[in-house]
Amino acid sequence: MKVDYKSLHKDIIEKSRLGDQQACYQLYQLYNKAMFSICYRMLNNFEEAEDLLQEIFVEAFSKLDQFRFESTFGAWLKQIVVNRCINRIKKRKLELTFPEEAPQIASEDSNELKDNEMNIGSVTSAIQKLPEGYRIVLSLYLIEGYDHREIAEILSIKESTSKSQYMRAKSKLKEIIKTEQYEAA
């Protein structure tokens, strides 16, 4: 039997549209952790991510009549989350810096980290230490699954800039992890 993911949780969504608070709470419980993760990865601030998430759910519940089951509810909500995070970052008036000249990247050699030497905690910690522009592009591409064209549209940058930022972010991430492992040894 094929599952229709677009109508997943349709009954809860319909009840939420009618103002059923229990259904709204159920919907919140189903999606809050995943959406918080996106907020936190993009904003890199726990409290700000929590605050924004609450605003996003209020907005999403007020716009439920706009959800047409053309995609999954999670995908629809994720788009709201990403857009609101980008708006919050812009509101901070912190410019995302996308240097036009690429730094020299060392060629990969036998000293490169092996995949099994990294653990999730060290990668997560290293991602948080990336410059904001790198962190956002890396998160949108690698974790959220957007392609470079979509990232370029979301951030109002060139597609080639998204690609180069992603490559630089990966290089910087390896550098941070190597440094942390060296310091820990």
C-alpha separations of 93 from 4, 58, 87, 97, 100 in Å? 42, 24, 10, 12, 20
- CA separation (Å) from 48 to 23, 96, 115, 155? 26, 18, 32, 20
pTM of this structure: 0.65
180 with 125: CB under 8 angstroms? yes
All domains of the chain in start order, with CATH: 5-91 (1.10.1740.10), 115-184 (1.10.10.10)
At 5 the pLDDT is 63
Per-residue burial over 35-47, b = 16 or more CB atoms within 10 Å of its CB, e = otherwise: bbbbbbbbbbeee
The DSSP code for 5 is G
| pLDDT at residue 109 tops 50 | no
Residue 96 has pLDDT above 70, yes or no: no
Higher pLDDT among residues 167 and 95, named by residue? 167
Residue 108 pLDDT exceeds 70: no
Q: How many CA atoms lie within 13 A of 73 on its CB side?
A: 24
User: Could you tell me the two tokens for 91?
Assistant: 């509101």
The pLDDT assigned to 55 comes to 94
**pLDDT tens for each residue of 13-56:** 999 999 999 999 999 999 999 999 999 999 989 999 999 999 99
Q: How far is it, in rounded angstroms, from Cα 125 to Cα 151?
A: 23
